[in-house]
């Protein structure tokens, strides 16, 4: 965007990093020289440049404390982070600006420790960390990893990534704060905050914890003063307890079991969503994803890149939202049963009793399973024009649901889902029957809308208005969007 080098983006991460380090060590270009570059920018680059100019001005006027960390989404290499430092320097200098790489996909989570090690080895980046009092924030995303490999495999990948990042920071004498991009549904890292905190890997907290709050949860958690106090009290309590606990390694046998289960769960998940012919067609027909993508319900477009509704380009929120609306709730549990069946039940019960991560993983899955309703999901499956395809895929989903429910109950020792939390269990059981009619209404509206010869006419808009109402009602009733 700044026209540094014509083939800059064609170089690998090491090549781009080398160029950026050289530029960071040099004096910034004179304002007159930069002005010519800015004039030739496209709108997207110009907007980014204006943002950094604004950050520099805010620091001059209000001081460094007015600025939080700059989160670099979809960090794929060290160059992504160094580029932010360079923009900050050229925009007028923002000393002490903390840059927080965000690792979101499965591949990026696996690469995160290596990327951080590369950054810490660079003197120019070490100087930047020192200007932040030796602190580094790293953000990890829970949504895209789940979409990549499923619930169980993503949970284990996130756990291992945190462990490795902590080790790298400790080796370089850097104080780490992990920023958790989680919330909303279980598939996107949601669930009770205290349970999630206690399930973090040993040594990753040390009194430091930062987490996103989803917009749709703000009112339920903070609108009432007493509820807000209770929620924050639970978070502080969990952080203190987890930080004070004696650090110990997880049993090697349990880690080995998780490796096996994660691989089996990932294979089951990818077998459905990636290797089953026609799966994307099924998803588009058996969920309201096409309609959701037109409703502009969120602050960002539903898909990245070209904006097509493929699994690779669809954003995690509409992916999860579409499955939640149609009561499959598939991202919150699919593949878990196949994974659990790869290990003997005795070991599963021991892991559930003695490992906070595994306990949280199964407890959250129980919530997902309880909110799912395959009877209603079958009605959505009836919307798929290709009946052979619908029968095949729904048969796989139904079998995995039964397998997962049975395996989870066996591992937890519960007779029914969420027996250990009867208040929440009863709450879900009471709400679901009130949501069911909205689902039936949505199914009928989708059927009528898709049968129309003209998708942009007055009748189509009238039907979409009703669909919007059902979407809002179902989300409110299930207390989940994406």
What's the pLDDT score for residue 245? 74
What's the pLDDT score for residue 316? 80
- pLDDT at residue 299 tops 60: no
- pLDDT at residue 224 tops 60: yes
- pLDDT at residue 331 tops 80: yes
Give the DSSP H or E segment for 177: strand 175-181
Does residue 94 contact residue 88 with C-beta atoms inside 8 Å? yes
- pLDDT at residue 187 tops 70: no
What's the pLDDT score for residue 212? 85
Q: What is the mean pLDDT of residues 323-339?
A: 97
Tokens of 476: 């409110």
Q: Regarding predicted confidence, which is higher, 317 or 224?
A: 224
Other C-beta atoms within 10 Å of 457: how many? Answer: 11
Q: What is the mean pLDDT of residues 332-351?
A: 97
Give the model confidence (pLDDT) of 449-461 as tens digits.
Answer: 999 998 889 999 9
- Map out the domains of the chain with their CATH numbers: 8-181 (3.20.20), 252-478 (no CATH)
For residue 349, what are the contacts with CB-CB under 8 A and spacing of at least 6? 410, 411, 413
What's the pLDDT score for residue 425? 92
- pLDDT at residue 225 tops 80: yes
What's the pLDDT score for residue 32? 67
What's the pLDDT band for 220 if we cut at 50, 70, 90?
confident
Task: Tell me the whole-structure pTM to 2 decimals.
Answer: 0.90
What's the pLDDT band for 64 if we cut at 50, 70, 90?
confident
What's the pLDDT score for residue 4? 61
What's the pLDDT score for residue 300? 57
Q: Regarding predicted confidence, which is higher, 203 or 49?
A: 49
For residue 47, what are the contacts with CB-CB under 8 A and spacing of at least 6? none
- pLDDT at residue 410 tops 70: yes
């Amino acid at each position: 965007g700044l026209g540094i080098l014509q083939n800059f983006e064609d170089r690998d991460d090491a090549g781009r990093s080398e160029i950026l380090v050289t530029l960071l060590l040099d004096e910034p270009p004179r304002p007159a020289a930069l002005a010519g570059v800015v004039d030739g920018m496209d709108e997207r680059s110009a907007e980014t440049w204006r943002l950094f100019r604004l950050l520099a001005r805010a620091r001059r006027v209000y001081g460094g404390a007015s600025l939080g960390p700059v989160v670099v989404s979809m960090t794929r290499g060290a160059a992504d982070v160094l580029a932010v430092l360079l923009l900050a320097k050229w925009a007028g200098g923002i000393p002490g600006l903390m840059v927080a790489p965000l690792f979101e996909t499965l591949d990026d989570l696996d690469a995160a420790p290596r990327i951080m090690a590369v950054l810490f080895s660079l003197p120019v980046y070490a100087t930047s960390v020192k200007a932040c009092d030796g602190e580094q924030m790293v953000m990890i995303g829970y949504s895209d990893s789940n979409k990549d490999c499923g619930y169980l495999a993503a949970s284990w990948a996130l756990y291992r990534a945190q462990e490795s990042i902590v080790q790298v920071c400790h080796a370089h004498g850097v104080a780490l704060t992990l920023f958790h991009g989680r919330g909303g549904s279980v598939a996107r890292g949601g669930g009770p905050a205290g349970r999630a905190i206690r399930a973090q890997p040993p040594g990753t907290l040390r009194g430091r914890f930062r987490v996103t709050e989803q917009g749709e949860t703000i009112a339920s958690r903070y609108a009432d003063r007493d509820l807000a106090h209770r929620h924050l009290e639970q978070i502080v309590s969990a952080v203190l307890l987890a930080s004070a606990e004696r650090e110990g390694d997880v049993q090697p046998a349990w880690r080995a079991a998780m490796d096996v289960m994660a691989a089996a769960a990932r294979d089951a998940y990818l077998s459905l969503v990636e290797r089953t012919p026609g799966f994307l067609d099924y998803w588009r027909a058996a969920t309201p994803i096409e309609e959701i993508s037109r409703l502009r319900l969120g602050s960002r477009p539903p898909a990245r890149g070209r904006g097509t509704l493929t699994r690779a380009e669809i954003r995690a929120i509409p992916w999860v939202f579409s499955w939640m609306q149609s009561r499959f709730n598939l991202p919150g549990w699919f593949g878990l049963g196949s994974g659990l069946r790869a290990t003997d039940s005795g070991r599963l019960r021991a892991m559930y009793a003695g490992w906070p991560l595994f306990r949280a993983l199964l407890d959250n899955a129980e919530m997902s399973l309880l909110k799912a309703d395959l009877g209603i999901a079958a009605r959505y499956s009836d919307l798929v024009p290709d009946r052979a395809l619908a029968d095949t895929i729904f048969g796989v989903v139904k079998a995995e649901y039964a397998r997962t429910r049975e395996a989870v109950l066996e591992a937890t020792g519960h007779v029914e889902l969420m027996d250990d939390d009867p208040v929440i269990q009863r709450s879900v059981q009471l709400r679901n029957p009130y949501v069911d009619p909205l689902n039936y209404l949505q199914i009928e509206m989708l059927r009528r809308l898709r049968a129309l010869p003209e998708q942009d006419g007055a009748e189509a808009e009238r039907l979409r208005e009703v669909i919007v109402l059902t979407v809002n009602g179902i989300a409110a009733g299930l207390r989940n969007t994406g």
